[in-house]
Chain A
């Protein structure tokens, strides 16, 4: 197996004292941001990204992905002990996790959550190990039209499959695409939408926007809601861990099903939230004892956590293989790749083997080390939640400012970050989704470039997007997904007409 050999090579890249130390630092910071109210995966990664600017790409990505794992683990702590989901996809974990804590089984619930996160991520990482190189290999044959078709597919699936009102998704996406276009045009070198200002020459930096949209706006929202923290404390003993693990084989079907749901929804964009709910609902439907869900059943923790983490991890697959992030956090990691001068996409597997396989190996190692860390340090991190928010809020503001400034050493960027914080606050409150904006910001110029290159190649003929089987299929699929709500309504209407009502 070629993948195994490369993976071993990845471990070799990884196993130095420096990287292991960075890994531990990353995990600690990650759990910390995961536990803090109002901060989660994408925010944590965005705020801590500047720490990695002066590192080499491999160390940087190892640290960042460990921050991400840590944040994922940390989110479960707040959901179970405090009934506050650290992330939208932890919401389903609170359904049974918090009742378990109320019944005095917090340790069991936490062990179940951590273990299932671990299993879900592991399945997804295995998938990445064996599938990503193949997809990348396949994608090496892609030209600009194919890439544009894939970008189009990503954008369209957000519009067609998203739960939000369609026009709001489109607004968010178009706004992001416009912001991404500000500055120097990469094809002709011409300036556009800068209105003669020097500050806008560089364009709107993706990471500055993300730090504002996620970090600052989250602080504003948390202040507004005034979280009253009334939590349970927990300490996990080896005995509890052992008793939960001994019962694991009983739940193999739930775990496997949730992993599969998670992997599938993770690869298609925007899936982690849907995955956790779907994992929970299907486990509930398949159960013989449906009524007991929501009263503190351990399965109700296993199912959503496995699915959420499988999906959160597999979201990295399209990012690595195609340069298309499957989640907000993956989009931020992608932004990081560009900062370190790497060009995300299939060429990464050819040009930067040590980076890709180091990252994949770090997913295995980070997960194992993370699991051990959270199991042993829960009481410590639960105590973080008792720190008054009045102390945490200004510290997060400072970290965000440091992050925004460090990217380009520009004061203007800090102002921009605050502006995006206010924009994010308003957008969230009126239901304009954030994920399409993030995606458009990070993919905007690449989508435009591939569009224009295909147009130049084809002499301006739109038929180029149907010029061969592959690109034609992707483009058609994209359009089907875009109009999916309409198509679904029409087919439902036809079915109603053809089947006589009883």
Chain B
């Protein structure tokens, strides 16, 4: 793989440990469980003549989720003296962002440009700026890929995708 960082072993400083991430995740899931339990309680968790009401089953599932999260948080508190593992190193996270950020830009772009044009931009851009590949190779690859996707989904399999100005110009 040709990311700019090269090929040597990754020894960049740790960005964050596993414990804070795990604690935060469990806390978020706990909050999610509480929210869901509350909403289901509002919907109705009691029994009526035709059986349990709509909130009954998910309410208890939310309680189970909350219980398991509390247990997990408890364990983290007990083990707090033990050394922590690394969740992600700085360079590693940089590489994760290199793909996550373009993806987050790509999603709204599909609405304005249409999916196929947005894919062309994403693939070509990623290959040039992240992969440091030759621009003409990147553009040709991205073009071939986008056209192939268009032909496969739009023409051959009739799967409708968001379209933009270019597709309208071509009469699709």
Given the known inter-chain contacts A448-B57, A452-B52, please indicate yes or no for A220 contacting B115, CB distance below 8 A.
Answer: no
Q: How far is the CA of A192 from the CA of B36 in the complex (A)?
A: 9
When distances are taken between beta carbons in the complex, the residues of chain A under 8 Å from B69 are 171
Given the known inter-chain contacts A422-B100, A448-B57, A452-B52, please indicate yes or no for A388 contacting B2, CB distance below 8 A.
Answer: yes
Residues of A448-477 whose CB lies within 8 A of B: 448, 451-452, 455-456, 460
Min CB distance B103 to A, Å, is 5
Binds B, one of A1-9, A85-93, A279-287, A403-411: A403-411
By beta carbon, the residue of chain A nearest B145 is A395
> Any chain A CB within 8 A of the CB of B151?
no
Q: By the criterion CB–CB under 8 Å, are A414 and B107 in contact?
A: yes
Min CB distance A443 to B, Å, is 13
Encoded as 1 (CB less than 8 Å from any A CB) or 0, chain B from 110 to 140 comes to 1100010001001101110011110000100
Q: By the criterion CB–CB under 8 Å, are B57 and A452 in contact?
A: yes
Q: By the criterion CB–CB under 8 Å, are A429 and B1 in contact?
A: no
Which of B40, B51, B61 is the one whose CB lies under 8 Å from A174? Answer: B61
Q: Could you name 16 residue pairs across A and B whose Cβ atoms are closer than 8 Å?
A: A51-B157, A171-B72, A174-B64, A174-B65, A175-B29, A185-B54, A187-B51, A188-B53, A223-B95, A391-B131, A395-B145, A398-B119, A402-B159, A405-B162, A411-B110, A430-B21
> Any chain B CB within 8 A of the CB of A54?
yes
How many residues on the B side are at the interface (Cβ–Cβ under 8 A)? 76
Q: By the criterion CB–CB under 8 Å, are B43 and A226 in contact?
A: no
Q: By the criterion CB–CB under 8 Å, are B87 and A429 in contact?
A: yes
Residues of A119-137 whose CB lies within 8 A of B: none
Q: By the criterion CB–CB under 8 Å, are A193 and B40 in contact?
A: yes
When distances are taken between beta carbons in the complex, the residues of chain A under 8 Å from B100 are 220, 422
Q: By the criterion CB–CB under 8 Å, are B122 and A394 in contact?
A: yes
Q: How far is the CA of A390 from the CA of B26 in the complex (A)?
A: 33
Q: How far is the CA of A320 from the CA of B8 in the complex (A)?
A: 48
When distances are taken between beta carbons in the complex, the residues of chain A under 8 Å from B52 are 452, 455, 460
Min CB distance A170 to B, Å, is 4
Q: By the criterion CB–CB under 8 Å, are B5 and A226 in contact?
A: yes
When distances are taken between beta carbons in the complex, the residues of chain A under 8 Å from B7 are 228
> Any chain B CB within 8 A of the CB of A274?
no
Encoded as 1 (CB less than 8 Å from any B CB) or 0, chain A from 183 to 198 comes to 0010110101101000
By beta carbon, the residue of chain B nearest A453 is B51
Q: By the criterion CB–CB under 8 Å, are A390 and B127 in contact?
A: yes
Which of A51, A185, A224 is the one whose CB lies under 8 Å from B159? Answer: A51
Q: By the criterion CB–CB under 8 Å, are B50 and A456 in contact?
A: yes
Q: How far is the CA of A171 from the CA of B39 in the complex (A)?
A: 19
> Any chain B CB within 8 A of the CB of A181?
yes
Given the known inter-chain contacts A226-B5, A388-B131, please indicate yes or no for A181 contacting B95, CB distance below 8 A.
Answer: no
Q: By the criterion CB–CB under 8 Å, are A223 and B99 in contact?
A: yes
By beta carbon, the residue of chain B nearest A427 is B25
Q: By the criterion CB–CB under 8 Å, are A426 and B106 in contact?
A: no
Binding site for A on B (CB under 8 A): 1-3, 5, 7, 10, 18, 21-22, 25-26, 29, 32-33, 36, 39-40, 43, 47, 50-58, 61-62, 64-65, 68-69, 71-72, 75, 87-88, 92-93, 95-96, 98-100, 102-104, 106-107, 110-111, 115, 119, 122-123, 125-127, 130-133, 138, 141, 145, 149, 152-153, 157-162
Q: How far is the CA of A220 from the CA of B94 in the complex (A)?
A: 11
Which of A220, A394, A432 is the one whose CB lies under 8 Å from B102? Answer: A394
When distances are taken between beta carbons in the complex, the residues of chain B under 8 Å from A448 are 57-58
> Any chain B CB within 8 A of the CB of A393?
yes
> Any chain B CB within 8 A of the CB of A18?
no
Q: By the criterion CB–CB under 8 Å, are A388 and B1 in contact?
A: yes
Min CB distance B41 to A, Å, is 11
Min CB distance A143 to B, Å, is 15
Q: By the criterion CB–CB under 8 Å, are A178 and B33 in contact?
A: yes
Given the known inter-chain contacts A192-B54, A395-B145, please indicate yes or no for A170 contacting B61, CB distance below 8 A.
Answer: no
Q: How far is the CA of A448 from the CA of B18 in the complex (A)?
A: 35
Q: By the criterion CB–CB under 8 Å, are B153 and A398 in contact?
A: no
Min CB distance A155 to B, Å, is 11
When distances are taken between beta carbons in the complex, the residues of chain B under 8 Å from A190 are 43, 53-54
Q: By the criterion CB–CB under 8 Å, are B159 and A50 in contact?
A: yes
